[in-house]
């Protein structure tokens, strides 16, 4: 199952880092896609050129960092922004990560009801070209909307990560809303997820296919939620650029240093700025940034 | 702006119906994609064949119903489940609806933070081939996560529909959670959205680019939310197959019969069952079902 493969990989490479793959058009070419309306034809041509540049750069980057990372996390939005050529790039990079043995968490934050959720699960948690090893999903529609994802993940040996407490400041609006029962909404959700995970098949370390997303910017929440959700792997975004430190994220791991991966994107993959015509330099810089992040997190976990 | 175009169209055709386009592989061919793992190659071939059948059927269906519908709503999940050929089908059907003058609400329920949300907005609310005239979005990450969608929609004359209270029974889990302040979560969100809409440009009838999704299965909520959100167009799913009636949804409209569209999918587009080799019969049945729904809603709104 996914949690097992993730832990085996993390142990084999000695890393808890999840490499976020957020391809930003403006860092790869001179004619960035922006929010402005443009003629569809030139926009498509630009997108295809950017998608080729992105595929080439991130293939090289995966080759260069595969020995330093537990997994990778392509952000679907940036591929979708490039249209159909972008989705072809996503399929290609997912396949490449597979050949390197690097698990892929597709960050697409999907969510819908009934057979619609099942269609998303079919797209991203079965054998299609856009499918990763795990998928991020959004819980706003309720537990019944998560069920098709959870059961498909269990059936196919893949995983899901439910958005629980995100790293942005606006996460207070709904996620922290104080309930009449005395807990914030995210804790109410955590309780429901813990109950569901309690019924699921476990790997040898006690983890299930039902993971959660908890931002690195909420150190106290990480400790609280780690104890509420002992059967869930944590995906922890917000490290680095968004302000989370190694000591902040250490609380996401269990007593054996397992049960979480920490992701960063821009601060790693564009560590030296725009890629431009010199990808070798960008890849060297990225490798250096991944090593620093890997060592900082391993150190913080060891010190606890 | 989008709300204006939608109202003009609804008035011109005398219909408040939104035709949901949920292409279900198993109703178009004999080798349905299911949750089961299959070899990637044969799966891709099947998906391409299904995508061609889907494109052909729904082009014909749009041609046959354009004079009966206010807008259409492709469900992205079912296209994504067909992989890249499915997304090509989505782009093709979106372009076709445009040539017929039928506004397209892309039901993709996207949501993310910062520049990631901006990437989704660029993909679906600017000039790309996958872009519709409006997009459904998910609010779980908070108001700051909605902002890139809202501002892009305002800039490009398009619209957004924020999930507020959905039609599924599991919507009680988070959306109905009672807050310490005495209101359920969805009402807290409605208040925040009303405040935001209050600052936005309005069309001649007072509506903005910030719409909401409220399920037809919650008649009392529709009346409550209509008064809380006078500047928002309502997208009302859950009519028919999910149990909402014409009298239930009448409360979604303002005193002039404006401000909402009601969507149904399966019960219209597959009214006669599987399409198979006889699409003409399926299209005739769909046309009949759309007429019944149109007249039932118009009647219920007139009776109020």
pLDDT for A218 = 84
Residues 6+ positions from A105 with CB-CB distance below 8 Å: A18, A71, A72, A73, A132, A133, A134, A135, A136, A159, A161, A235, A261
Position B279 confidence tier, pLDDT thresholds 50, 70, 90: confident
Helix axis angle, B185-197 relative to B143-156, nearest 10°?
40
Which long-range contacts (C-beta less than 8 Å, at least 24 apart) are formed by B51-54?
B51/B82, B51/B85, B51/B86, B51/B88, B51/B89, B52/B85, B52/B89, B53/B28, B53/B29, B53/B275, B54/B23, B54/B25, B54/B28, B54/B82, B54/B86, B54/B89
The ipTM (two decimal places) reads 0.95
Distance from CA of B272 to the nearest CA of A (A): 19
Radius of gyration of chain B (CA): 19
Residue A277, token pair as written in the block: 């015509």
B183 at A interface, C-beta within 8 A: no
Q: What is the mean pLDDT of residues A162-187?
A: 97
Q: What angle do CA B59, B64, B65 make, to 5 degrees?
A: 100
Q: Which residue has the higher pLDDT, A105 or B41?
A: A105
- Taking a C-beta distance cutoff of 8 angstroms, is the pair B122, A34 a contact? yes
Residues 6+ positions from A162 with CB-CB distance below 8 Å: A136, A137, A138, A139, A146, A189, A193, A210, A211, A212, A213
Radius of gyration of chain A (CA): 19
On average, the pLDDT of chain B sits at: 94
pLDDT for A160 = 98
Q: Which residue has the higher pLDDT, B131 or B128?
A: B131
Task: Scan for tokens 């913080």, then name that residue.
Answer: A300
Position B251 confidence tier, pLDDT thresholds 50, 70, 90: very high
A228 at B interface, C-beta within 8 A: no
A173 at B interface, C-beta within 8 A: yes
Distance of alpha carbon B187 from alpha carbon A263, whole angstroms = 34
Position B41 confidence tier, pLDDT thresholds 50, 70, 90: low
B45 at A interface, C-beta within 8 A: no
Distance of alpha carbon B42 from alpha carbon A214, whole angstroms = 38
Position A134 confidence tier, pLDDT thresholds 50, 70, 90: very high
Position A217 confidence tier, pLDDT thresholds 50, 70, 90: confident
Residue among B179, B178, B177, B149 nearest B162 (CA):
B149
What's the number of CA atoms in the CB half-sphere (13 Å) around residue A63? 10
How many CB atoms are located within 10 Å of the residue B249 CB?
A: 29
Distance of alpha carbon A221 from alpha carbon A165, whole angstroms = 8
φ, ψ of residue B206 to 5 degrees: the values are 95, 5
CB contact under 8 A, A163 and B140: yes
Distance from CA of B24 to the nearest CA of A (A): 9
B173 at A interface, C-beta within 8 A: yes
B2-303 CATH, one of 3.40.50.1220, 3.20.20.70, 3.40.50.1370, 3.90.79.10: 3.20.20.70
A92 at B interface, C-beta within 8 A: no
To which H or E segment does residue B293 belong? helix B279-303
Residue A233, token pair as written in the block: 């792997």
Distance of alpha carbon B131 from alpha carbon B2, whole angstroms = 13
pLDDT for A32 = 47
- Taking a C-beta distance cutoff of 8 angstroms, is the pair B132, B211 a contact? no
Chain B residues whose CB is inside 8 A of the A22 CB are 116
pLDDT for A41 = 65
**Which SS3 state, helix, strand or coil, does residue A238 take?**
coil
pLDDT for A19 = 98
Among this protein's residues, is A109 annotated catalytic?
yes
pLDDT for B45 = 84
pLDDT for A42 = 76
Helix axis angle, B114-125 relative to B143-156, nearest 10°?
30
Q: Return the residue in B28, B108, B119 with the most chain A beta carbons within 10 A, the one to mutate for interface testing.
A: B119
Least-confidence region, from A39-53, A200-214, A221-235: A39-53
Q: What is the mean pLDDT of residues B8-21?
A: 98
CB contact under 8 A, A168 and B143: no
pLDDT for B39 = 58
pLDDT for B71 = 98
pLDDT for A126 = 95
- Would the pLDDT of B30 be above 60? no
Distance of alpha carbon B34 from alpha carbon B25, whole angstroms = 9
Helix axis angle, B83-99 relative to A83-99, nearest 10°?
170
Residues B192-236: tens digit of each pLDDT: 999 999 999 999 999 999 999 999 988 889 999 999 999 999 999
Least-confidence region, from A9-23, A65-79, A173-187, B276-290: B276-290
pLDDT for B32 = 47
Residue B262, token pair as written in the block: 């009601």
Rounded to two decimals, what is the model's pTM? 0.95
Distance from CA of A130 to the nearest CA of B (A): 7
Residues B176-197: tens digit of each pLDDT: 999 999 999 999 999 999 999 9
Residues B129-153: tens digit of each pLDDT: 999 999 999 999 999 999 999 999 9
pLDDT for B206 = 97
Chain B residues whose CB is inside 8 A of the A185 CB are 174, 177, 185
CB contact under 8 A, A77 and B120: yes
Domain parsing of chain A, residue ranges: 2-303
Chain B residues whose CB is inside 8 A of the A117 CB are 77
pLDDT for A127 = 82
Sign of CA dihedral B84, A103, A264, A65: negative
Distance from CA of A69 to the nearest CA of B (A): 23
On average, the pLDDT of chain A sits at: 94
Say what the alpha-carbon torsion angle A129, A52, A47, B153 is, to the nearest 10 degrees. Answer: 60
Residue among A207, A230, A225 nearest A215 (CA):
A225
pLDDT for B213 = 98
Chain A residues whose CB is inside 8 A of the B217 CB are none
Chain B residues whose CB is inside 8 A of the A157 CB are none
- Would the pLDDT of B264 be above 50? yes
């Amino acid at each position: 199952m996914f949690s097992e493969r993730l832990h085996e990989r993390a142990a084999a490479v000695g890393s808890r880092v999840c490499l976020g793959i957020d391809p930003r058009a403006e860092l790869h070419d001179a004619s960035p896609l922006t929010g402005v309306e443009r003629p569809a034809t030139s926009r498509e041509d630009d997108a295809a050129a950017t998608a080729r540049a992105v595929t080439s750069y991130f293939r090289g980057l995966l080759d260069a960092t595969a020995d330093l990372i537990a997994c990778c996390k392509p952000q679907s939005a940036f591929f979708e922004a490039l249209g159909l050529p972008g989705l072809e790039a996503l399929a290609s990079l997912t396949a490449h990560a597979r050949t390197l043995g690097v698990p892929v968490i597709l960050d697409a934050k999907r969510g819908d009801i009934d057979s619609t959720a099942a269609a998303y699960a079919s797209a991203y948690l079965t054998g299609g070209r856009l499918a990763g090893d795990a998928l991020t999903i959004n819980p706003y529609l309720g537990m019944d909307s998560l069920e098709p994802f959870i059961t498909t993940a269990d059936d196919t040996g893949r995983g899901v990560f439910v958005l629980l407490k995100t790293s942005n400041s606006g996460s207070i609006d709904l996620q922290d809303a104080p309930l009449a029962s005395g807990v914030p909404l995210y804790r109410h959700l955590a309780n429901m997820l813990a109950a569901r995970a309690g019924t699921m098949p476990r790997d040898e370390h006690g983890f299930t296919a039902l993971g959660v997303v908890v931002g690195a910017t909420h150190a106290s929440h990480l400790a609280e939620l780690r104890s509420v959700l002992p059967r869930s792997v944590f995906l922890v975004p917000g490290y680095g650029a968004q302000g989370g430190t190694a000591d902040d994220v250490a609380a996401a791991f269990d007593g054996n240093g397992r049960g979480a991966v920490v992701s960063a994107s821009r601060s790693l993959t564009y560590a030296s700025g725009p890629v431009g015509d010199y990808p070798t330099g960008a890849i060297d810089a990225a490798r250096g940034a991944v090593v620093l992040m890997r060592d900082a997190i391993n150190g913080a976990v060891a010190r606890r």
